[in-house]
Amino acid sequence: MNWVAVAFILFWLITFVVGQLLFKRAMESARKIGFRKPRTIMILSIGIAVMTISFLLNLGLLQHFDLSYLYPFQGSSVIIITLLAALLLKEQLTPRLILGTLLISGGVLLVSLS
């Protein structure tokens, strides 16, 4: 794997994480002010645009790697998304949730190394 592949995998991960955070933010906005409000629609639209980029990158990567090899990289997004959900969305993290998240990510890492 060359640095271009690493860069594309990283870019794919970043767009995926940002997209998920935007989706959650959009649904929070939908709950607070309503689904059809311009603010909700704007956040959701940006989220969908970012996720579309992520999707196309995913397709490109799938043409170069086995699914079972590539897919677990997405698992590393578990820790990132859980931490950012606590940091940016003010969600509550318990020690148990953190432990479970670390085990899931560790397991995914093992899968990707094997």
Token pair 């929070």: residue: 28
Q: Which of 14, 30, 41, 46 binds other proteins (CB under 8 A)?
A: 30
Q: Does residue number 59 form part of the binding site for other proteins (CB under 8 A)?
A: yes
Q: Does residue number 50 form part of the binding site for other proteins (CB under 8 A)?
A: no
Q: Does residue number 14 form part of the binding site for other proteins (CB under 8 A)?
A: no
Distance (Å, whole) CA 53 – CA 94: 33
Q: Does residue number 13 form part of the binding site for other proteins (CB under 8 A)?
A: no
Q: Which of 5, 10, 33, 49 binds other proteins (CB under 8 A)?
A: 5
CA 52 to chain centre: 13
In sequence order, what DSSP letters do the residues of 44-105 get, joined into one string?
HHHHHHHHHHHHHHHHHHHTTS-HHHHHHHHHTHHHHHHHHHHHHS-----HHHHHHHHHHH
Contacts of 79 (CB under 8 A, 6+ apart): 101, 102, 105
* Minimum distance, C-beta of residue 104 to other proteins, in the bound complex (Å): 4
Q: What is the DSSP letter of 34?
A: -
- Cβ closer to other proteins: 42 or 56? 56
Q: Which residues of the chain form contacts with other proteins (CB under 8 A)?
A: 4-5, 8, 20-21, 23-24, 26-27, 30-31, 44, 48, 51, 55-64, 66-68, 71-72, 74-75, 77-78, 81-82, 85-86, 89, 91-94, 96-97, 99-114
